[in-house]
């Protein structure tokens, strides 16, 4: 949260003979979250924004035939500081975003998966745009974040029908040699737990598996080993996600790095203690999905990432063990 008493003041005149440039600079000022003190006087908090970016914008205005001066100013007193801060209240933007989500929820079930994903990308972009200029966060932002998470959860029920519910059960110890050359089935449109579980199966359990990507769990053949859906052979148990259940079932707990990798999958799938690597993994997987990869391509690409993450976690575990000796 920005609580500074110092501000950047950009005093400018737009180019008079270039309407395109005027519009471009006006949009740039809006995108940066500038508050209007009066015509030609724009305020931003320091250190909420980059001085370098503002200087570059000022130079662009000068070069286009306008004038721009960037100066630092300080609040005269607490009353003025509060007045300036009030100019950056994003409550209305957040409230408008929440209303947009409410309208979108009414038609969400009628959209195709591709349309849902486009809607998610667009609304995520809109939300991030407000967050990026919310220099003095308040409860409106918290409410909007909660509304966004609820909307994502609803969209996930469309994109990933059959998301498993956790149940209580014993996790039997199984022999890997009894599971070679089998058919394995899970829900299509792979995401974190499913892609990590499929990678784990091929890497440590079944060297020659075949995978089926189901449009519905009800389509799972009787001779296939289902995973990560209600009623599957391997699914959530207690507080463990499917990846962790597979690790426990096949005695892979001692495999260097796998438990730590499981913590990352757990955090991304159902929440939990933050794992720094989770952000990067989710970003890579999101990018892969945006490129339109099918499930086989997704598994192949993310397997390389998971191989590297396993090596990373194993090296960390080895270093930590060495440090304790």
- How confident is the model over 34-50, as pLDDT tens digits? 999 998 999 999 877 78
Structure tokens at 51: 């001085």
In what side-by-side order are the strands of the sheet with 225-226?
A: 210-214, 183-187, 225-226
Residue-level pLDDT at 3? 47
Q: Pick the closest to residue 309 from 219, 171, 203, 215 (CA basis).
A: 203
Report the pLDDT value the prediction gives residue 246, as an integer from 0 to 100: 98
pLDDT one-digit tens code per residue, 210-237: 999 998 899 999 999 999 999 999 999 9
- The 10s digit of each residue's pLDDT in 64-115 is 999 999 999 999 999 999 999 999 999 999 999 999 999 999 998 888 777 8
Q: Which stretch of DSSP H or E encloses residue 10? A: strand 6-13
| Residue 19 clears pLDDT 90, i.e. is over it | no
Which residues, in sequence order, are bridge partners of residue 44?
A: 8
Q: For position 66, what pLDDT does the model report?
A: 92
Say yes or no: domain 6-86 is CATH 3.30.70.240.
yes
Of residues 261 and 168, more confidently modeled: 261
- % the chain with pLDDT above 70: 96
pLDDT at 2 over 70: no
What is the pLDDT, as a whole number, of residue 179?
97
**Greater pLDDT, 212 or 149:** 212
Contact 193/299 with Cβ under 8 angstroms? no
Cβ-count burial 44-71 (b if 16+ within 10 Å, e if not):
bbbebbeeeebeebbebbeebebebebe
197-217 pLDDT, tens digit per residue, is 999 999 999 999 999 999 889
> What's the average model confidence in pLDDT over 59-64?
92
CB atoms within 10 A of CB 247: 24
Query: Of the given ranges (2-16, 169-183, 198-212), which has the lowest mean pLDDT?
Result: 2-16
pTM above 0.75, yes or no: no
Whether 15 and 65 have beta carbons less than 8 Å apart is answered as yes
What average pLDDT score do residues 126-138 get? 93
Confidence of residue 123 (pLDDT cuts 50, 70, 90): very high
CA distance 277 to 275: 6
Please give the pLDDT value at position 325.
56
Question: Distance (Å, rounded) from C-alpha 282 to C-alpha 64?
Answer: 41
What are the sequence ranges of the domains in the chain? 6-86, 91-159, 176-324
Structure confidence at residue 163 (pLDDT): 75
Q: Is the pLDDT of residue 1 over 50?
A: no
On the question of pLDDT at 155 being above 90, the answer is no
Comparing 17-21, 24-28, 51-55, 137-141, the range with the smallest average pLDDT is: 17-21
Residue recorded with tokens 């959209």? 111
Element (H, E) at 68: strand 67-74
Higher-pLDDT residue of 57, 317 = 57
**Burial tier of 324 (Cβ tally within 10 Å: 0-12, 13-18, 19+):** exposed
Of 150, 149, 130, nearest to 140 by C-alpha is 130
């Amino acid at each position: 949260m920005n609580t500074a008493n110092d501000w950047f003041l950009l005093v400018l005149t737009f180019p008079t003979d270039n309407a395109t440039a005027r519009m471009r600079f006006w949009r740039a000022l809006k995108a940066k979250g500038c508050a209007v003190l009066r015509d030609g006087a724009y305020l931003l908090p320091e250190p909420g924004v980059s001085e370098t970016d503002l200087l570059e914008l000022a130079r662009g205005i000068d070069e286009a035939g306008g004038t721009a001066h960037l100066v630092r100013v300080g609040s005269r007193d607490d009353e003025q500081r509060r007045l300036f801060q009030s100019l950056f209240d994003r409550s209305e933007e957040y409230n408008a975003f929440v209303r947009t989500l409410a309208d979108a929820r009414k038609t969400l079930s009628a959209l195709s998966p591709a349309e849902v994903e486009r809607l998610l990308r667009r609304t995520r972009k809109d939300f991030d745009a407000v967050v990026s200029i919310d220099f003095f966060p308040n409860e409106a932002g918290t409410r909007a974040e909660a509304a966004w998470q609820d909307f994502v959860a609803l969209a996930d029920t469309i994109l990933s029908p059959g998301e498993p519910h956790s149940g209580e059960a014993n996790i039997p110890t199984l022999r890997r040699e009894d599971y070679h050359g089998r058919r394995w089935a899970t829900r299509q449109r792979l995401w974190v737990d499913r892609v990590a579980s499929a990678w784990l199966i091929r890497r440590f359990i079944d060297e020659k598996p075949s995978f089926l990507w189901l449009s519905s769990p009800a389509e799972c053949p009787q001779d296939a080993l289902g995973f990560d859906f209600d009623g599957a052979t391997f699914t959530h148990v207690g507080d463990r996600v499917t990846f962790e259940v597979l690790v426990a079932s096949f005695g892979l707990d001692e495999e260097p790095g796998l438990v730590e990798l499981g913590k990352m999958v757990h955090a991304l799938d159902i929440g939990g203690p933050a794992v720094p690597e989770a952000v990067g993994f989710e970003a890579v997987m999101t990018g892969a999905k945006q490129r339109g990869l099918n499930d086989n391509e997704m598994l192949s690409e993310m397997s390389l990432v998971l191989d590297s993450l396993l090596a990373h976690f194993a090296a960390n575990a080895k270093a930590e063990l060495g440090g304790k000796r």
